[in-house]
């Protein structure tokens, strides 16, 4: 079963930087990593107006696949309101991954006791707001608030500066992966 780890916090709090670090380091160690990003903006699309794939979608295609020598993009048109974490992770469950990092979806993730969380915040007030209603397991506090802190922990939650102390966070995630011990020997 794939490990799902979520980074939650407001925009600009350091979620992307934290997950980029984790993805880069775990991928370099041979782990198969996926990511899911919550985009709040209505009308957002990866597709560009005027492209062939855009034209197919405008003509009514619900799923469009674009294949190049270096990438396969699958565009699924939907009006789906994602109301559960299971709906979110189902979008990539057919992939053979060791860990999936989710950025955002705090409303869906906050109460999940089966999803380790990394909390990011811009400042102490934002940290308190994000922690409110967020249940364990919480792996760490990272992001801007961690960079500006001299504390090693807050409410018994490790405070980790990324990239300076990012390896600690990598090791925390690896400890949750049952195959972590075998990856080093396979490489």
d(CA 166, CA 146): 11
Per-residue pLDDT tens over the stretch 79-100: 666 666 676 676 676 678 899 8
Please indicate, yes or no, if residue 136 is contained in any of the structural domains: yes
Please indicate, yes or no, if residue 47 is contained in any of the structural domains: no
Please indicate, yes or no, if residue 55 is contained in any of the structural domains: no
Task: Count the domains in the chain.
Answer: 1
Q: Percent of the chain, pLDDT > 90?
A: 53
Count of CB atoms situated within 10 Å of the CB of 148: 12
d(CA 5, CA 78): 25
Beta bridge partners of 141: 119, 159
Please indicate, yes or no, if residue 134 is contained in any of the structural domains: yes
Per-residue pLDDT tens over the stretch 109-118: 899 999 999 9
Please indicate, yes or no, if residue 91 is contained in any of the structural domains: yes
Strand 63-68 and strand 33-37: the pairing is: unpaired
Domain of 91, CATH number, reads: 3.40.50.300
**Residue 178 belongs to what domain range?**
3-39+79-186
d(CA 103, CA 116): 12
Please indicate, yes or no, if residue 62 is contained in any of the structural domains: no
Per-residue pLDDT tens over the stretch 7-48: 999 999 999 999 999 999 999 999 989 888 766 545 656 677
d(CA 133, CA 146): 20
Whole-model pTM above 0.85?
no
Please indicate, yes or no, if residue 66 is contained in any of the structural domains: no
109-146 in b/e form (b: 16+ CB < 10 A) is: bbebeebbbbbbbbeeebbeebbeebeeebbbbbbbbb
Q: In which residue are the tokens 């195959």 written?
A: 179
Please indicate, yes or no, if residue 65 is contained in any of the structural domains: no
């Amino acid at each position: 079963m794939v490990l799902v780890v979520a980074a939650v916090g407001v925009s600009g709090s350091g979620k992307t930087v934290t997950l980029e670090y984790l993805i880069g380091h775990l991928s370099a160690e041979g782990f198969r990593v996926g990511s899911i990003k919550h985009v709040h903006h209505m009308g957002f699309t990866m597709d560009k107006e005027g492209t062939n794939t855009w034209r197919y979608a405008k003509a009514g295609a619900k799923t469009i696949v674009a294949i190049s020598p270096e990438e396969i993009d699958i565009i699924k048109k939907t009006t789906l309101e994602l109301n559960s974490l299971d709906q979110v992770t189902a979008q990539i469950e057919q992939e053979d991954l060791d860990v999936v990092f989710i950025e955002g979806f705090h409303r869906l993730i906050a109460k999940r006791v089966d999803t380790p969380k990394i909390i990011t915040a811009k400042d102490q007030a934002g940290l308190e707001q994000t922690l409110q209603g967020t249940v364990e397991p919480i792996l760490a506090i990272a992001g801007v608030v961690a960079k500006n802190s001299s504390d090693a922990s807050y409410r018994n939650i490790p405070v980790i500066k990324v990239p300076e102390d990012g390896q600690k966070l990598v090791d925390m995630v690896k400890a949750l992966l049952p195959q972590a011990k075998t990856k080093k020997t396979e490489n």
